Amino acid sequence: MAVHIKKDIVSAWRQFSRSKLGVTGLIIILIFIFVAVAAPIISPYDPQVLFLAPRFSAPSFKYLLGTDDVGRDVFSQIIYGSRISLTVGLLAAVVGTSLGTTIGLVSGYYGGILDDIFMRITDIFLVIPFIPLAILLALCVGPNIWNVILLLGFFGWPPAARQVRSLALSLKELPFIEAARAIGAGDRRIIFRHILPNVTGIIIANVVSRTVFAILMEAGLAFLGASDPRNISWGMMIFHAMRSGAVFYGAWWTYIPAGLCIAILACGFAFLGHGITLILNPRLRGRAGL
Amino acid sequence: MYEFFIRKFIQYFVTFLIILIVIFSIPRLLPGNPADYIISPSTQYVGEMSEILRQQLIERFGLNKSIIEQFFLFITNTFTGYLGVSWKYFPKEVSALIMERLPWTLFLVVLSRTLSLTLAFFIGSIAAWKHGGKLDVTLQTLGLITMALPSFWVGLVLLTVFALYIPIFPIGAAVSYGVIYRNAWEFICDVLHHAFLPVMTLTIITFFGDTLIMRNAMLEILGEDFILTAEAKGLKSRVIIFNHAARNAALPFITGALMSIGLMITGAIFVETTFSYPGVGALLSESFFSRDFPTVQGILIITSLIFIVLNFIADLLYMWLDPRIRLMRVQ
């Protein structure tokens, strides 16, 4: 069994490494993870210290990306901001995909009324406009990073649920499941030992694509001012730049680099997702070397 | 056919009711009094008129009655278009406020969708015909990249470049302030001039994704036998692409496009905030800052309704455009 898994991983890696975009994405993500972990060592200043230099100081050797409207070092803020984007993105994606996988497995395996109910709920989730709801909740509960993660996670399950469900539906008809049942394996064992390993690919692909969504949504909510004011995030830096008139002041360094970071990190995950789809979908392989 | 229509209608109606139940319960599940959310604090400060309005709000939302009565009043109010009174624009009604702003949002969204989809239809078709080619690879990469761009940032970059450093476009708003137009043409020009950067932002974000959807739909059709027949007949590739393949690929493309209008309304929130464009999106972020609960709630209700209606129309259109389903009624 262990040898088998190792062989699978090696062959998956070989497929993945052929995708230039996929590898680029992985490198981007690893760089950002390094920056996030090593933030206290890399960042030249404390990102929260006010009036290090006059407000809107232009980039210089002392302050690589200048200072913002209250004289904080932008470069240090960018470094610390990676923590928020990565944490929110990954946690929300994991919460959403786990929920979706569980619902998809149960729904696909048992079928019947349970399946009907779950799929109707999925349909409902797909037509609720996310941003207005998030804003309404932020208004009532107050903006807090954990609420944002939970909300993004809770809203992130429909795609995973749908894909896992349809795969589980076809898997449960296969002979090996019947064999497992014949030996006397219970439902729970069949779901977790036999079906779950076969949907791993979809789960990983979903975590990646949900991360892109969560990073962008967190940035968007922060841009609207509906994110945790205690933690500096890239979206919030842009929000402050907008509110303080940095745009009209010509202080591009307060919002251009922050937005670029959101875009690059989200791109990294989108590219990684592209590489993973290549492993999952053999039909796309060898096409144009993307 | 009619059965399909009715089944879908009931399904979406129930969906809307469930969303309303969720919206209704949010302020009531939280600690504190729902009245604190619904009644504007302005009523405490502004004269005698506001006391009457306060009583009216308590009456209409049944705030002194049981929770079940409150719920039925909430549903009736919503279906009769009464969404309460705004805090920020006190004493204006929320529904009037949203209706004032909604046309601007729809204008931006429809304009950018039309632009993006028309271009995507042609370019996507060509990319699929020469799939694996240079154009195709570039489009795929750009599709992945633009998918990951935050729209507000793209807007800010355009704003910085084309309104500040090269000031050829206005920095915000929908029309010039304090200008008297001599004729309708001047007004249209002014509106388009202001809408240019927001529309461009929305289009940049969606265009490559739209192209990929069209490309994939086309790629599927191009694998079918009738395309081979057309090729064997010696038809020109232009004829095959647009007369044979693109027509068939248009079906999933059009319905997808319709549903994306709903998504774009949320996308417009960021772009409108960036350009201070007076649409519903900018209203949402304004209301968030003034803690204007009734307006935020109203926008949530209206956007949900728009989402649902568009999904419903997309379902019907899909059915109507697909001859296999449409012709079933003849049998």
Substitution target in B102, B271, B300, B311 with the highest count of A β-carbons within 10 Å is B300
- Give the per-residue SS3 of A184-201: CCCHHHHHHHHHHHHHHH
> Residue B152: its chain A contacts at CB < 8 A?
220, 223, 238, 259
pLDDT tops 70 at residue B48: no
- Interchain CB contacts (distance < 8 Å): A and B: 141
pLDDT per position as a tens digit, A228-251:
888 889 999 999 998 888 888 888
> Residue A81: its chain B contacts at CB < 8 A?
none
Q: Are B174 and B275 in contact (CB under 8 A)?
A: no
Mean pLDDT of chain B: 84
Give me the residue from B11, B27, B160 closest to A252, CB to CB. B160
Q: Are A52 and A64 in contact (CB under 8 A)?
A: no
DSSP output for B127-166:
HHHTTTSHHHHHHHHHHHHHHTS-HHHHHHHHHIIIIIIS
pLDDT per position as a tens digit, B88-138:
777 788 888 999 999 999 999 989 988 998 999 889 888 888 888 888 888
Query: Is B265 close to A129, i.e. CB distance below 8 A?
Result: yes
pLDDT tops 50 at residue B182: yes
CB neighbour class for A5 (10 Å; exposed up to 12, middle 13-18, buried from 19): exposed
Distance between CA atoms of residues B312 and B255, nearest Å: 10
CB neighbour class for B98 (10 Å; exposed up to 12, middle 13-18, buried from 19): buried
pLDDT per position as a tens digit, B239-282:
888 888 887 787 777 777 777 777 788 788 999 999 999 999 99
Q: Are A250 and A55 in contact (CB under 8 A)?
A: no
Residue B72 distance to chain A (closest CA, Å): 21
So what's the pLDDT on residue A290?
44
> Residue A141: its chain B contacts at CB < 8 A?
30
Share of chain B above pLDDT 90, in %: 21
Distance between CA atoms of residues B37 and B29, nearest Å: 12
Is residue A229 classed as helix, strand or coil in its secondary structure?
A: coil
pLDDT tops 50 at residue B330: no
Residue A239 distance to chain B (closest CA, Å): 10
Token pair of A188 as six digits: 């729970």
Domains of chain B: 2-79 (no CATH), 100-322 (1.10.3720.10)
- Which residue do the tokens 């009624």 mark? B329
Q: What are the C-alpha distances in Å from A266 to residues A25, A32, A87, A145?
A: 9, 11, 13, 19
Distance between CA atoms of residues B35 and B58, nearest Å: 8
Along chain A (290 residues), what's the average pLDDT of each consecutive run of 10 residues?
69 82 93 93 85 82 84 90 92 93 90 87 85 87 84 87 88 85 85 84 88 92 86 90 86 91 94 85 49
pLDDT tops 70 at residue B176: yes
CA angle A70, A71, A73 (to 5 degrees): 125
Angle between helices A74-110 and A234-243 (to 10 degrees): 130
Give me the residue from A130, A267, A269 closest to B266, CB to CB. A130
So what's the pLDDT on residue A261?
95
So what's the pLDDT on residue A7?
77
